[in-house]
């Protein structure tokens, strides 16, 4: 049975280890620590199958977009992939997102450096892609970014339409 354990001071170091194993070239330490310290209201989790930690997941939001939850730092350890556990973990995260009031899930995806199987995994799980190029967000103009979206309810999912995600500020 898949379950999420919210990050806290006691499991923070372990969560960072798991995240680095899944995403060796990225580092969620700052985001995880800010959440644990109450500096943001994002939600990050360790993902368990029974007593075995199989990955990490998270929900974030950007600015005033209160109905759009963003999938963040979602990953399953390699030995647990292709067993249906990632899809199960994503469904559980959807329940959490609905409980938090989100209507849609979004993913910011770097098409140049993103994990090749991730985009396929998201599409298989109902996400649709659109390119992200916002003139006010310099980083996005490289053409390497996409927003993947899906509705958490049985309704059409309105596109992101290049609203500013402020990726340029996040890179600083």
pLDDT at site 13: 97
Q: Digits of tens for pLDDT over the chain (172 positions)?
A: 999 999 999 999 999 999 999 999 889 999 999 999 999 889 999 999 999 999 999 998 876 678 999 998 899 999 999 999 999 999 999 999 999 999 999 998 877 766 778 888 999 999 998 888 888 877 777 778 888 999 999 999 988 888 887 776 665 5
pLDDT at site 127: 93
100 within 8 A of 48, measured Cβ to Cβ: no
pLDDT at site 109: 82
pLDDT at site 66: 83
> In the numeric block, which tokens belong to residue 118?
């991730």
CA dihedral 56, 166, 94, 102 (to 10 degrees): 150
pLDDT at site 152: 96
Quick one: CA dihedral 42, 110, 2, 79, positive or negative? Answer: negative
The CATH class, in words, for 2-171 is: alpha beta
Sketch the domain layout of the chain as residue ranges: 2-171
Q: How many CB atoms lie within 10 A of CB 55?
A: 26
Residues 6+ apart with CB under 8 A from 158: 104
């Amino acid at each position: 049975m898949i379950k999420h354990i919210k990050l806290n001071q006691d499991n923070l170091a372990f969560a960072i280890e798991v995240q680095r194993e899944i995403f060796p070239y990225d580092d969620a330490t700052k985001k995880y620590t800010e959440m644990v310290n109450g500096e943001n209201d994002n939600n990050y989790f360790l993902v368990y199958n029974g007593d075995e930690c199989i990955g990490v997941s998270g929900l974030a939001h950007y600015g005033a977009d209160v109905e759009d939850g963003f999938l963040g730092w979602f990953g399953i350890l390699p030995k647990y992939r292709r067993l249906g556990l990632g899809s199960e973990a994503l469904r559980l995260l959807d329940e959490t997102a609905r409980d938090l009031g989100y209507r849609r899930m979004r993913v910011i995806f770097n098409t140049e450096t993103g994990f090749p199987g991730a985009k396929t995994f998201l599409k298989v799980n109902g996400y649709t892609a659109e390119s992200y190029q916002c003139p006010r967000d310099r980083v996005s103009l490289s053409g390497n970014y996409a927003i993947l979206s899906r509705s958490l309810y049985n309704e059409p999912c309105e596109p992101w339409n290049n609203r500013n995600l402020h990726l340029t500020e996040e890179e600083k």
